A and B are shown apart, each in its own frame.
Chain A
Amino acid sequence: MNEITAPTGKVIVCDGNEAAAWGACLSRPDMVAVYPITPQSSLVEYLAQFIADGRMDADLMDVEGEHTVLSVLHGAVLAGARTYSATSAQGLAFMFEPYFRTPGLRLPMVVSLVTRDAVSPTCVWGGQQDAMTVKEVGWIHMYCETQQEILDTIPIAYKVAEHPDVMLPVNVNHDGNYLSYGVARVELPEQSVVDAFLGEKQVNWHACLDPERPMAVDPLTGGAGGVGPSMFVKYRKGLCSGMQTALQVIEDAHADWGKRTGRYWSPLIEEYRMEDAEVALVTIGSMTGAAKDAVDEARADGKKVGLVKIKTFRPFPAARIAQALSKVKAIGVVDRSVNFGWNCGPAFQEVLAALYAHQTARIPMMSFIGGLAGADITVEHFAQVVRRTFRLAGGEAAAGPVWLNEND
């Protein structure tokens, strides 16, 4: 545990878990509930230390497991609190039962997922299998590329979660091991900047527990004997529209943050050297740095390649992705997890669907899967992706998925 000396408004050198802890600290949650799990553990240790040192004025709940972590936060949010937590892999799995109902209740909260591969085979290293497995539940999912982006995205996530037209939980995801333990230069914004950015905490009065205004939260809906399924449908449609509204809210929040801090992050997707690209890579998370280097090297060789990074995976910015990829001749999508039953990576399948929905032309695509169980996806791996994608553009048949670390 580092000694905490960094005041806000300064530059520190820290790992991604500490950056997340600072992002949470600056967002002033009322309650933090924690249970440790590799590679998230140091994140909750930082939070505990912040609270112990009086740097952070939050109620720390050290509980008996992730199921309770999210459950106590449900109670707190229903009583009007702003909350924060973080988890990984098996912890997320154990959290799943309350996780499932968080968006349905429209509980605004932020939880960091320090992404990790899921057992079995047993593995405690990075990967995105955990987050990708829960992408359909109704949480907003944002993936960060750097330590600084992790810190900045957490206040942004609160702004999105608590927006009255969104009122949804947000997972801010960063890659286990690479970002959780990798150290980088990070600027801490002034507390006053974050305070001004977030403004008043927005409580969801749609679902609250307060004797001053008695309310039954979560009555049984739909099914036989009641008013029929219409009420359930109404709730589901509301959640859907909250998700779609979030696309714009996420863009606005990032723009606002940029104005106040000078750091503009791509809110939904980032386009890198896409202006005249003939082929494109699609990446997600920390792998993007190496991918950009590979793009630069290929460009130096005169190959017109670009890259699209997905920052927001839920709601899926399908139209923006389809537009960004509309002019290329072939696409290579690199995933850090597996979509079992589709024989590809999850992002691959999402991009495929986005293109089908928003394009008439059929662009050849290939799925690459790498970085499982904490393996490196190196610049050389990406160079291989670039070569294979150009062959695809040249008419060679797609064959996938390609397992990047198969022979490492």
Chain B
Amino acid sequence: MGAAFDSISFKASLCDGCGDCMTACSTAKQGASRISIVPGAKAGTFETAICRQCGDPKCVQVCPSGALDKDGGNGVVGWDASKCVDCLLCTAGCAYGGIAVDETVARVAKCDQCDGDPACVKVCPTGALEYRKAGTIFNQYGDKEDLFVPGLSGCQGCNSELIMRHAMRKIGRNSVLATPPGCIPGMGSVGYNGKTGTKVPVFHPLLTNTASMLAGIRRYYDRIGRKDIVVMALAGDGGTSDCGFHAVSGAAERGEKVLYVCVDNEGYMNTGMQRSGTTPYGSWTSTTPVGEHMKGKTQDAKNLPLIMTAHKCRYVATASTGYMEDLYEKLDRAVEASFEGFSYLHIYSPCPTGWRVPSSKVIEACRMSVDSNFNPLWEYTNSTGLRFTHSPDNAYPVAEYVKMIGKYRHLSQDQLAHIQAKVDEQVALLKLMAAESPPPLAAHRAPTGSSTPVGAEPTQSARREIARN
């Protein structure tokens, strides 16, 4: 698989044609702007012409002098003034009109992304330009094996499938996986009639006993010296917060060395969208319907990750596919912690079918749920306490989040106010916990891809991680 690089994106719908980017660029580069804003096909719309830093650049192919070259490190197609013979073939070769000409000197003016801090993006008043760094995940994990087969039978746009594929890609083959009843085995993780959807040993525990069963596996593997196997669950919220809770709580209390990932889609979605203990207040579900006398769920959700911190787990964190790098870092730390004690990762997972969200809006819903503090991102360890991994300040009103989700369509102003109050209350509590936690150590935040657990000395398990990958 190739590599993806950071790049400048342009959202035409937001561009008002002010041209500030061009001014900023020409100022920064003391010459012609490398970006140009041009009128779109419809009146009042705009398009851009800018170097896309193509993976297989046509300009490089047509350049007779070798003045253009793609940098394998940052992906920028660079221009070497000393080699250039000013034929301007590249400007014609680029299908995107991405290579500008500086008329005053009749030489190529090539976008170099300003060493990762583009002047154009900084000045764009509408946010039409964005500098995207998402490619890092692709580069780090793109070549890793997808441990689920293609064609899992999830609903269209299902966020849980994304979690499954990414989590297992990260964790790798040296693992034993339990997927209790719910959407995940429903997609075929354990399989149907002898065919399986998973490439690692996988089991379909009872809805009620996932944590217990994993504890048994781990204890025996420890006994026979196979301590490097990741013993983990990809479980739903019902089997975790409701009927399986005794098992989760017991395993956490005993410090069983297990990685328990709860994929929280806020209900028993696979069986027809019934409410669970983590279904938020006001949600429409098939057992908390909207009618004359009832308008969705009348109780607040159980805050399961917060409950797990009270078990003094080795590691507890919340995560979201809206913030994948954060999720990946937490997976690293969660895996590492699971070799030492109970490790719990709670991942919010919008269900397009049961929440009445269009598939195309799922990731947006993930982001908004974090950005509105509906699902704040934090992590906890029994030695360092709690810290936010995404600032809870300057959050959007929660109304912004719920308006994109159909299961809240009926909410009254009172219900909305209740939800906002609960969100504020929850954030205040988390802030209190964060304030009372010991200050972070110098190496508190492990760099992406590192396996050093938060607040812990690097141990031999760091080496184990490398060996596993």
A interface, CB within 8 angstroms of B: 30-31, 33, 59, 61-65, 67-68, 71-81, 97-98, 101, 208-211, 213-222, 225-227, 231
Contacts and interface: CB of A to CB of B under 8 A. Distances in A.
A389 B388 CA distance: 79
B303 to A, nearest CB: 21
B206 A219 contact: no
Contacts of B196: 215-216, 219
Given A219-B191, A219-B195, A231-B193, A81 B220 contact: yes
A220 B200 contact: no
Contact of B217 (A62, A79, A219): A79
Contacts of A217: 190, 201-204
Contacts of B246: 64-65, 67-68
Given A72-B212, A209-B176, A79 B220 contact: yes
A219 B204 contact: yes
B322 to A, nearest CB: 31
B136 to A, nearest CB: 28
B215 interface: yes
B190 A97 contact: no
A231 B214 CA distance: 27
B217 A61 contact: no
B192 A220 contact: yes
A148 B249 CA distance: 39
Interface stretch (B221-229, B308-316, B349-357): B221-229
A42 to B, nearest CB: 23
Nearest to B196: A216
B253 interface: yes
Nearest to A231: B193
Interface of B: 173-176, 185, 190-196, 198-206, 208-209, 212-221, 223-224, 229, 246-247, 249-250, 253-254
16 contacts: A31-B216, A68-B209, A68-B212, A71-B213, A76-B219, A78-B216, A81-B216, A98-B209, A210-B201, A211-B175, A214-B202, A216-B201, A216-B202, A219-B191, A219-B195, A220-B192
Given A74-B213, A220-B192, 14 more contacts: A59-B220, A63-B250, A64-B250, A73-B216, A75-B213, A79-B176, A101-B206, A211-B200, A214-B198, A217-B202, A218-B190, A220-B185, A227-B194, A231-B193
A226 B220 contact: no
Given A98-B206, A214-B199, A71 B212 contact: yes
A215 B201 CA distance: 5
Given A79-B221, A80-B224, A61 B215 contact: yes
Contacts of A67: 208-209, 212, 246-247
Given A75-B220, A79-B217, A63 B203 contact: no
B214 A75 contact: yes
Nearest to B213: A75
Given A67-B246, A214-B200, A227 B193 contact: yes
B337 to A, nearest CB: 20
B209 to A, nearest CB: 4
A68 B252 CA distance: 13
Contacts of A208: 201
Contacts of B195: 219
Contacts of B229: 211
A225 B191 CA distance: 13
A351 B324 CA distance: 65
A210 B220 CA distance: 11
B190 A216 contact: yes
Contacts of B214: 75
Given A68-B212, A68-B246, A71-B205, A80 B220 contact: yes
A76 B192 contact: no
**Looking at A30, A72, A97, A227, which has the most chain B CB atoms within 10 Å of its CB?**
A72
Q: What are the 8 closest A-B residue pairs judged by CB atoms, nearest first?
A: A75-B216, A64-B250, A216-B196, A72-B216, A71-B212, A71-B209, A219-B191, A75-B217
Contact of A97 (B193, B208, B221): B208
A392 B309 CA distance: 69
**Looking at A33, A67, A98, A225, which has the most chain B CB atoms within 10 Å of its CB?**
A67
